[in-house]
Chains A and B, each alone.
Chain A
């Protein structure tokens, strides 16, 4: 049954779903917190959004670079054609006319490409602007809605990284946040990763060529590692002559900076793929391809200013650690605590417990904080509840209090207020 998933932000329906309800309070600070601290929390959390702004910007710059390079190449080709024609000794009038005419139409083609390129750049720039506007729109009034969108962004990021593109796009489209997410960036990465998983270096090398200057700036040796792997594959296939010529062409330029590694791999020529020697055996293992995939992911994320791990994992780890107490693992842990769920408990196992410097007491009955406005009261049997809960209970029951956990009955006057800092 197709159920209309997400009500609009202004939630007009009388019958609201938990989704809207969840958006209204769960992800936000409670309404009785002072607005200024709500705002300062939000400001702090905005500082975590580096990736959000950086990725579309890098993509934008890349598009500009690629367009520029294309145009440059084409124009350069035209200029050199003119030079050729001008420098040729024996050229007839007709040939000259032909050449020049074709160049003119080529230039028309370049102009079209410029237009298309500019259009693509504008889309990217628009995306950058949309993100800036989105950050700017975060304020105390629309806090819950903004946080709800943030959770969706985090989920799209997770699903994109895990290659669940259909789900990612579904969520992005249904919540109209296509401009705030980078599914296409991850799809670009997927092409390379799939290639590497299929033991093909082609897409990866193309990617390196695309990003040559930036990889060089960061002194990346990823291309070198790709070339090494290709070399090893040639050795594995016992294509020794090709391997050597390959090394001459592609590996020697790296010799200056990475001599040791180069020497190590070149030695495989001598030992060959069925070697017993562990030092060289490891170079032939298929695990090397997995290593390349990891390397690529690191380079890719670094170039785009993204975290290596999914945002969801980062926030989940932080949240679980902040929430984790020994009480969470007890059987009577309240269901409102995420750590009462088995899957969350498992995830949180290797994470450290939270720490408190001051007592934080929660009333068993109302689940509210027991602080100076709502101090804890002690029953004769040592059980403690909030003043609010006990007052309410007393009012409804002629001043009598029944402890919900032990059943002890006493009167409101038997209670003592505890002083806990």
Chain B
């Protein structure tokens, strides 16, 4: 605390007034840094990093350059002076006279000592920079590869994964460039699927529903199996466009041809849409104005992407980004673990299961994992979770142990209810 106060010159009698946070914000503002509440870097680190930043700012660099130039200038100046003196000698020069000018020059240069000056400049700059690597090592993890396992990590697989990631993002040129440079055999199937999808999406951007309709018609059966209302939504979008810009007759004929097939299954929706025909031309007073919202296009795009990916067996989010996101969340824990196990390299390499849990966010949870509160074992085929009559859940082996493998009753560890093994039923998550 004190260090901050003196380094930013705060008045000593104010020190007790400011809370730590406030003094930091003051310090930061004095360093011309906005105090940001939501910034991820800790305030302290921010302050230190920006102290360094001031060392590598343009102004200091220009000053350093200037000073070097000045040193060189000094040398040049001395030589030029000597040159002028030599040229100014009129009579046939006695070597002694020339010699003395030259010796004087040599002496002068010695006095100036440009090499020492340059060295000094360099040292000064180095001192300013010397604290930075230490700061970095302290505030950041200097070696994140400590948790890396030296196992077979086939880079061909990684190349394919990265290329597929690019295709999924619509970066076809980039994906092709990578496949080319890496010399991988092309991952054809996925590329063409995503290419088709992006063609549909490109058309959607300009409100052209043609390609989307083609695709939906082709895959109608599977879409219905998935319970998707994509086809209806498409026609709804088209219909709304007609209602916005076309005539009542157009709207009516479109409704007859394309909306009618959905009438029986989705009566509500159908009725709402057809009613809008009445308000063609005066949509401001239409009671179902929310149908006109442009957000429906975005929703439709999202849904068609979802269905597309689902039908070709892909995930919505690029699997690479999901895996890397999990890595970013999990690596700090793994590094701590690797640190603790630093002496047991062999065990680290060969472990079949991580000894500590790695907490991941909700959206990275893809499977149900049941952990028995008694044995801490994970539920499996051989040891399934069982529901007791008191509605608490233990794994089968724990129940067997508690009932001592007989039909005698045992007490639930959580409530005083008695139960027998036979009364417990298996759960399926």
B56 within 8 Å of A (CB atoms): yes
Given A170-B177, A384-B428, answer yes or no on A325-B393 (Cβ-Cβ < 8 Å): no
Residue of B125, B149, B177, B367 near A317 (CB, 8 A) is B149
A97 touches B87 (CB 8 A): yes
**Chain B positions 174-203 with a Cβ under 8 Å from a chain A Cβ:** 174, 177-178, 181-182, 195, 198-199, 201-202
Residue of B71, B195, B302, B426 near A382 (CB, 8 A) is B426
Given A356-B378, A382-B387, answer yes or no on A317-B148 (Cβ-Cβ < 8 Å): yes
- Nearest to B381 among chain A residues (CB) is A326
A314 touches B147 (CB 8 A): yes
A53 touches B140 (CB 8 A): yes
B286 within 8 Å of A (CB atoms): no
Cβ of B2: which chain A residues have Cβ within 8 Å of it?
A: none
Of A154, A320, A376, A384, which is in contact with the most chain B CB atoms at under 10 Å from its CB? Answer: A384
Complex Cα spacing A307 to B139, Å: 17
A316 touches B199 (CB 8 A): no
Residue of B325, B369, B378, B380 near A26 (CB, 8 A) is B325
B327 within 8 Å of A (CB atoms): yes
A86 touches B322 (CB 8 A): no
Cβ of B355: which chain A residues have Cβ within 8 Å of it?
A: 355
B177 touches A39 (CB 8 A): no
Complex Cα spacing A164 to B160, Å: 14
A79 within 8 Å of B (CB atoms): yes
**Chain A positions 340-390 with a Cβ under 8 Å from a chain B Cβ:** 340-341, 343-344, 346-347, 350-362, 364, 367-369, 376, 378, 382-384
A141 touches B328 (CB 8 A): no
A357 touches B46 (CB 8 A): no
Cβ of B181: which chain A residues have Cβ within 8 Å of it?
A: 159, 163-167
Cβ of A328: which chain B residues have Cβ within 8 Å of it?
A: 366-367
Cβ of B298: which chain A residues have Cβ within 8 Å of it?
A: 14-16
Q: How large is the interface on B (under 10, 10 to 19, 20 to 34, 35 or more residues)?
A: 35 or more
User: When each residue 295-317 of chain B gets 1 if its CB lies under 8 Å from chain A and 0 otherwise, what string results?
Assistant: 10110011001000110011111
- Nearest to B36 among chain A residues (CB) is A139
Residue of A75, A118, A147, A351 near B115 (CB, 8 A) is A75
CB distance from A179 to the nearest CB of B (A): 14
Cβ of B154: which chain A residues have Cβ within 8 Å of it?
A: 346-347
Given A162-B155, A336-B315, A362-B367, answer yes or no on A318-B65 (Cβ-Cβ < 8 Å): no
Complex Cα spacing A349 to B297, Å: 42
Q: Which of B5-13, B163-171, B216-224, B398-406 contacts its partner? A: B163-171
B292 within 8 Å of A (CB atoms): no
B429 touches A361 (CB 8 A): yes
Cβ of A234: which chain B residues have Cβ within 8 Å of it?
A: none
Interface majority SS (helix, strand, loop, mixed), chain A:
helix
Complex Cα spacing A16 to B294, Å: 13
B324 touches A50 (CB 8 A): no
Given A18-B168, A384-B427, answer yes or no on A135-B49 (Cβ-Cβ < 8 Å): yes
A357 touches B429 (CB 8 A): no
Cβ of A318: which chain B residues have Cβ within 8 Å of it?
A: 147, 326-328, 330-331, 334
Cβ of A336: which chain B residues have Cβ within 8 Å of it?
A: 315-317, 322, 366
Cβ of B316: which chain A residues have Cβ within 8 Å of it?
A: 18, 21-22, 26, 336
A114 within 8 Å of B (CB atoms): yes
Given A48-B331, A350-B152, answer yes or no on A82-B79 (Cβ-Cβ < 8 Å): yes
B315 touches A132 (CB 8 A): no
Given A1-B199, A48-B332, answer yes or no on A104-B369 (Cβ-Cβ < 8 Å): no
**Chain A positions 301-350 with a Cβ under 8 Å from a chain B Cβ:** 305, 307-309, 311-323, 325-328, 333-338, 340-341, 343-344, 346-347, 350
Cβ of B89: which chain A residues have Cβ within 8 Å of it?
A: 93
A276 within 8 Å of B (CB atoms): no
CB distance from A181 to the nearest CB of B (A): 15
**Chain A positions 89-109 with a Cβ under 8 Å from a chain B Cβ:** 90-91, 93, 96-97, 100-101, 103-104, 107-108
- Nearest to A307 among chain B residues (CB) is B145
Complex Cα spacing A53 to B297, Å: 42
A104 touches B79 (CB 8 A): yes
Complex Cα spacing A122 to B373, Å: 60
Complex Cα spacing A34 to B73, Å: 62
Cβ of A147: which chain B residues have Cβ within 8 Å of it?
A: 325, 328
Cβ of A319: which chain B residues have Cβ within 8 Å of it?
A: 322-330
- Nearest to A54 among chain B residues (CB) is B136
User: When each residue 365-397 of chain B gets 1 if its CB lies under 8 Å from chain A and 0 otherwise, what string results?
Assistant: 111111101001010100000010001110000
Given A164-B178, A170-B173, A315-B331, answer yes or no on A356-B369 (Cβ-Cβ < 8 Å): yes
- Nearest to B333 among chain A residues (CB) is A322
Task: Supply 11 further A-B pairs (C-beta < 8 A) apart from A323-B364, A352-B354, A364-B429.
Answer: A1-B172, A18-B318, A26-B325, A100-B86, A111-B69, A318-B327, A319-B322, A322-B358, A328-B367, A344-B319, A361-B370
Q: What are 13 residue pairs bridging A and B, where the CB atoms are less than 8 Å apart in the complex? A: A14-B297, A15-B301, A39-B38, A82-B79, A87-B106, A107-B76, A136-B41, A147-B325, A312-B324, A318-B334, A336-B366, A356-B369, A419-B393
7 nearest A-B residue pairs (beta carbon)? A319-B327, A315-B327, A26-B317, A338-B319, A319-B326, A322-B330, A350-B151
